[in-house]
Structure 1
């Protein structure tokens, strides 16, 4: 079975570490017809501790867990990977899987923008902002985050299983 996806790799820019081994996975439009199923699908595939809101409007990352973001409504322009990263447009139904350490920031969004976030095994997440005092602790922490056993969208299949194993 083939899935439409895009992969992005980002290097440590000296502020945002990103992930040296795992790519960001974008599943464009995977929930376009049924965006109300995003959160329940994440939970079914053991990506829990979910929330519904937006994306923070400053560069940040999580050094202690991976994160999945599913666009339930509207659209947004995000920058992934820090200041030197890549701008992407996300729309209703898109899903982004961010490996630990990957910077993300909201640049703009539609008034109805709503996103569902979740974490493998329901892990609690931290928020790091690239302060010099965060290193080298976060670099070691990112390397210790285990690869999830399931993809948040496709369970035992999908790119988390194929690309991150």
Structure 2
């Protein structure tokens, strides 16, 4: 039985470059309540991401300072609890992500945790490619990121829905 709930479609948001956080012309995707995390939540999310070709996984939270990744895309699967996260930099959007939600961040998408429940836990993963980098929003990092972000390959699979998932259709160069 699939851990992904039937009939789930992602919310797609394009964040503009704000001069410090480059973001990406490809949409940030959020699947609300997509994953059944009622049993072994971390392992369920890890299996889903792995089955769909995303790896280099970790378990933790989301950093409480603004940052982005300029060389890799990232997926965050919420295993437990909830958090308020600022996505897209200072001019982006604050979203509440909760157990069962999955957020997919194209390279350059700003993110910062504003608050969490005590039991908040995220599983993060990356598509095949370069290792994760961590950039703070500075003019120098922004200038470098504008050169590296266009070079990041579009993943072959959506970490939630696989090779025919919405990411594959929505993320075009």
Q: TM-score range by the shorter chain?
A: over 0.9
Measured in 1, the distance between the counterparts of 2:144 and 2:21 equals: 13
Q: Say whether the 8 Å CA contact 2:72–2:129 is kept in structure 1.
A: no
> What RMSD, in angstroms, separates the aligned Cα atoms of the two structures?
1.4
Measured in 2, the distance between the counterparts of 1:55 and 1:114 equals: 9
Q: Match for residue 161 of structure 1?
A: 168
Consecutive unaligned residues in structure 2, runs of 5 or more: 1-5
Measured in 2, the distance between the counterparts of 1:33 and 1:72 equals: 6
User: 1:33 deviation in Å?
Assistant: 4.2
**Gap change, CA 1:90 and 1:135, over 3 Å in 2:** closer
Task: Write out per-residue CA displacement over residues 71-95 of structure 1, whole angstroms, 9 at most, x where no aligned residue.
Answer: 0000000010001110000110000
- State the secondary structure of the residue aligned to 2:45: helix
Measured in 1, the distance between the counterparts of 2:97 and 2:167 equals: 19
Q: Match for residue 3 of structure 2?
A: none
Consecutive unaligned residues in structure 1, runs of 5 or more: none
User: 1:122 deviation in Å?
Assistant: 5.9
Task: Write out per-residue CA displacement over residues 118-150 of structure 1, whole angstroms, 9 at most, x where no aligned residue.
Answer: 000164100001111214221010011010000
Q: Match for residue 128 of structure 1?
A: 135
Q: Say whether the 8 Å CA contact 1:66–1:100 is kept in structure 2.
A: yes
**Gap change, CA 1:106 and 1:68, over 3 Å in 2:** same
Q: Does 1:75 align with 2:82?
A: yes
TM-score (norm 2): 0.90
